[in-house]
């Protein structure tokens, strides 16, 4: 599901509503995707599908956050409610997803 800024209501009233969450991206990632905002509101049930939504809006972003294992890259940290998360971490309504660059480089 693509990132958006509108309502969290699903198109199909028979489908359960996906949690509406807010993802905060690291500044270094924004320079790689012109036009991307620091805070992105989207609907997703897990960290993995949240990253899928980011990738739908900014093609290639998944490869910058995840490797092909697939898992979150070694020097990228994702926090949900202050806890380290994986791609499988479930999201609840209103969750804050914080994607950060870890200590690395040389």
Partner 1 sequence: MAKQILILVGSKKGAFTLTSGPQRRSWELRGPFCEAWPLNHVVADPETGTIYAGGGNEWFGPAVWQSKDLGATWTHSSEGLAYQAGETPIKSVWSLAPSAGALYAGVEPAGLFRSNDGGQSWQHVAGLREHPSRPNWQPGGGGLILHSLVPHPTDASQLWIGISAAGVFHTADGGATWAPRNQGTRCDYLPEEQRYPEYGQCVHCVVMAAGMPDRLYQQNHCGMYRSDSGGQHWDSIEQGLPSTFGFPAAVHPRDPATLYLVPLNGDIAGRYVPDGRAAVWRTRDAGASWQALRHGLPQQNIFFGVLRQAMATDRLDPAGIYFGTNTGSLFASADEGDSWDCIAQHLPPIHSVETLVIEA
Contact set with partner 1 (CB under 8 A): 28-29, 31-32, 59-60, 63-65, 67-70, 73, 75-76, 101-102, 104-106
CA-to-CA distance for 21 and 52, rounded, in angstroms? 14
Relative to beta strand 96-101, strand 20-24 is parallel
For residue 70, the minimal CB distance to partner 1 (Å) is 6
For residue 71, the minimal CB distance to partner 1 (Å) is 9
Looking at beta carbons only, is 53 or 66 nearer to partner 1?
66
Nearest to 45 by CA among 18, 72, 9: 18
């Amino acid at each position: 599901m693509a990132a958006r800024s509108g309502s969290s209501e699903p198109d199909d009233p028979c489908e359960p509503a996906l949690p509406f969450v807010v993802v905060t991206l690291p500044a270094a990632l924004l320079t790689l995707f012109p036009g991307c905002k620091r805070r992105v509101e989207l609907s997703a049930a897990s960290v993995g599908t949240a990253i899928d939504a980011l990738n739908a809006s900014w093609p290639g972003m998944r490869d910058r956050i995840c490797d092909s294992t697939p898992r979150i890259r070694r020097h990228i940290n994702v926090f949900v409610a202050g806890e380290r998360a994986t791609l499988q971490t479930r999201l609840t309504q209103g969750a804050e997803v914080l994607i950060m660059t870890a200590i690395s480089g040389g």
